Amino acid sequence: MANSSIRIETERLIVRRFEDRDVADILEYSQHEASDEHRRRNVDWELTEESVRQWWTPMATMRPEEAIHWLSLVVELKAEGRVIGNVGFNAKRIGEKPQGQIGWILGRDHEGNGYATEAAEALLEYLFRAVGFHRVYAMTSPDNRRSWQLMERLGMRREAHFVKNCHHDAGWTDEYVYAILAEEWTARR
């Protein structure tokens, strides 16, 4: 497994560990309208400096192999010198190698520029090459077009369409599962 320091620089972004100075930026990009269903499902607790610190502080040092539940990394936009979202993953060892789920969120103001694609590509490269993942999957609802289109841009394959397996305020919703294998990622690069 990789060591615990994670800092990946791409053309426009730095994907890295949380630092305490990020709290204000995280609070800002996490703000959303009540009608913004997808962001609301991602951040369904009260947003305060304290709750942000409580969620993020363990992520600053958690090793990838300890990410049984979730390890989020902040996405810093170099041009603005501030954090605009996050990408994250979990890891479970099955047989010889780990595999796991990935996810993402961007502040609404930064959608539509390819930043999530750039950050998720960096994360996939890290998980497959540095950590040695065998397979990565992601899940979303069919009405979250931006999220499943991102999965498709990353070269992930739609492997499942579960019918009414999630429950939210609005009732039962369907779910897509997308995945990509290490050898498929390598072939794309």
Ligand X SMILES: CC(C)(COP(=O)(O)OP(=O)(O)OC[C@H]1O[C@@H](n2cnc3c(N)ncnc32)[C@H](O)[C@@H]1OP(=O)(O)O)[C@@H](O)C(=O)NCCC(=O)NCCS
Interface with ligand X by CB under 6 A: which residues?
Answer: 38-39, 42, 103-106, 111-117, 140, 144, 146-147, 149-150
Taking the complex as a whole, the smallest distance from the CB of residue 122 to ligand X amounts, in Å, to 12
Please identify, using beta-carbon distances, which residue of 63 and 90 lies nearer to ligand X: 90
Render 121-161 in DSSP notation, one character per residue.
Answer: HHHHHIIIIII--SEEEEEE-TT-HHHHHHHHHTT-EEEEE
Taking the complex as a whole, the smallest distance from the CB of residue 1 to ligand X amounts, in Å, to 26
Taking the complex as a whole, the smallest distance from the CB of residue 186 to ligand X amounts, in Å, to 21
Gap between the Cα atoms of 66 and 21, Å rounded: 24
Please identify, using beta-carbon distances, which residue of 132 and 155 lies nearer to ligand X: 155
Is 119:85 a contact under the CB 8 Å cutoff?
Answer: yes
Please identify, using beta-carbon distances, which residue of 144 and 173 lies nearer to ligand X: 144
What six digits make up the tokens of 187?
């072939």
Taking the complex as a whole, the smallest distance from the CB of residue 27 to ligand X amounts, in Å, to 15
Please identify, using beta-carbon distances, which residue of 95 and 171 lies nearer to ligand X: 171
Q: Is the dihedral of CA 176, 97, 154, 86 positive or negative?
A: positive
